[in-house]
Chains A and B, each alone.
Chain A
Amino acid sequence: MTQPVKFDNDVREFLEQQMGVIVVVSDDPTFVRVMRVSLLKTLGVKRDCVEAFQETDLVSRSLHIHQGNNSPVILFTERLLQGMNNADFLRKIKKEFPLVKRVVVTPETSQESLALICEIGVDSIITKPVSLDTLIEKIAGVIRPQGKISEFMEKGRGLLERGEFEKVLQISDLILSIKAGSPAALMLRGDALLASARRDEAIAAYEEAHNASKLYIEPLKKLAAVHRDGDQDVYLAYLKKLDTISPLNTARKCEIGKIYTRKQEIETAERYFHEALACAEIDAQSYVSGIALDIADNLSESSPAIAEKYYAKALETKGDNLTSADLVTFNRLGIILRKQGKWSEAVENFQRALKVAPGDKNVLYNMGLAYADGQQFKEARKCYDSVLSNDPNFKRTSSMVACNIAYTYSRLKDLDTAEELVNIALEIDPEHAPSKTLLAYLKNAVLPAKK
């Protein structure tokens, strides 16, 4: 098999030759651990290139130091930190450290939540859970050499910051000659024209960018901004377009409501205020749920019974707003229930999780384990079969996964499948003790049958 060395080499070069630094702002110890293992153990990078923070307070200070040392930085941060929306922190970093690459880590994948993240302006988005290989691949993606257009765009933005607007116009023309109708180049052009007090031409460029790419958020934001103090109907129309594309922005919904109030269209205004409150409520639920989750995580080893209460609280707080982002909590609650021998409650918990994310392989696998705890091996097998039919490679996730599935097959006397699985477990980790024991049992069990 060809070794996937390309990504590894790119990342190693960034960290060792360019003295790059990875700054992680996360309250998720698993993600921080995966990051450290990926870079320090898997890639074998010798220097301490990962800095981890649980809160945002000290991050700016650290970035200033790296900036002073000319070390390129990639910042990884959670979208929600301790349950709180992290958008303000990201905006601040973008403004203060434009050269820092920003990667947002999120368990959510809905179009609405992606739109909200893109509104802030980030270089990449990583969806959790993330494997070691994927993390290295993503870092390689962020630091990869840019294409010509991206290089010109970056140069253009630099010139814009320095106020060299005529040169920006030349660069945007150059990009447009390479890629006709490039929305990003039209945006750059609009920004240079606006800064040169050529408002009407700027509006035309933004409109052209919007027409070339209807989902592109930036031109709409600019068009709304340039009309804010002018024609309120035009301003409102752009805000509503933005709201259609990115409907989770609470502040914008409030602004739309206020405009309708000024227009004496109270019923419509109230509809937007209502939606704004619903968005704010989701944020508040996230915050409370985040705190409950943090408490539960800290108690899961020492006091599983109390941890169970807080995991349940974290889910209950979300009410009807549970999403696939909450699967981690469902899985942790299920594991805590199993630890206490409450296998049937664990199964119920996973069944609830499957209503939120039908067919999720991790939930199904954990549900299989819960059934196996309760000696319900036929049910356990159904769960595993469902996982493996969707993702045949799931059995190779780890030696423990393969061994656990093998155990259920062995109890159902499907010895061949069990042996196949336990051999996979031992391929992954030849010293895996539970697999060795199970294999020995299988050998003994198979022999009499063959006589």
Chain B
Amino acid sequence: MKILIVDDDLTNRVLLNKMLAGYGECSSEEDGKKALGSFVKSLYDGSHFDLILLDIMMPNIDGQELLKIIRAVEDKWGVKPGDEVKIIMVTALDSPKDATEAFFKGFATDYVVKPVDFKVMKEKIDSLFPGKAI
């Protein structure tokens, strides 16, 4: 599985990298603009991400904005329903509203609250990718 972790905090990126290393190849980006670059490159290379973990509060393009752009790119290039990249929003405890809004609008696949609990994250990933459990 290919995973992209997007968070402006280096410590969070390292922790999520360690947490998810067992699922496959993890790469990370520090802001929305660079993450968009990575996402688009993966499409040009034919090496799509299976899962993106997206922090909401970030400089340049924030998580909400990036989520919409990713879905618009997928829509433009005719990604079939069900084949879209799975996106889990990662939100701070004091602003879960942003994540739930994105989730209920149908853009995000799911959300988790910081500090990320490995058990919770594992349950969510395992339910999204049955058979890939670690």
Chain A interface residues toward B at CB < 8 A: 1-7, 109, 111, 114-115, 117-119, 125, 127, 133-134, 137, 141, 144, 146-147, 150, 183-184, 187, 209, 213-219, 245-246, 361, 390-391, 393-394
Contact = CB atoms under 8 A, between A and B. Distances in A.
B28 A137 contact: yes
Contact of B43 (A125, A146, A215): A215
B46 A187 contact: yes
A137 B34 CA distance: 13
Nearest to B17: A6
B133 interface: no
B44 A115 contact: yes
Interface of B: 1-2, 8, 10-11, 13-15, 17-18, 24-28, 30, 33-34, 36-38, 40-41, 43-48, 59, 77-79
A127 B33 CA distance: 9
A324 to B, nearest CB: 9
Contacts of A137: 10, 13, 28, 30
B11 A390 contact: no
A17 B44 CA distance: 34
B33 A6 contact: no
Given A4-B10, A218-B46, A361-B59, A147 B2 contact: yes
Contacts of B26: 144
Contact of B45 (A6, A111, A216): A216
B44 A245 contact: yes
Given A141-B28, A214-B77, A361-B59, A109 B15 contact: no
B47 to A, nearest CB: 6
30 contacts: A1-B11, A2-B11, A2-B15, A3-B11, A4-B10, A4-B11, A4-B13, A7-B17, A109-B33, A114-B37, A114-B44, A115-B40, A117-B41, A118-B44, A118-B45, A125-B37, A137-B10, A144-B26, A147-B1, A147-B2, A150-B25, A184-B47, A215-B43, A215-B77, A216-B45, A216-B46, A218-B45, A218-B46, A361-B59, A393-B8
A209 B48 CA distance: 12
A117 to B, nearest CB: 8
A127 B59 contact: no
A141 B27 contact: yes
B44 A216 contact: yes
A298 to B, nearest CB: 30
A216 B43 CA distance: 6
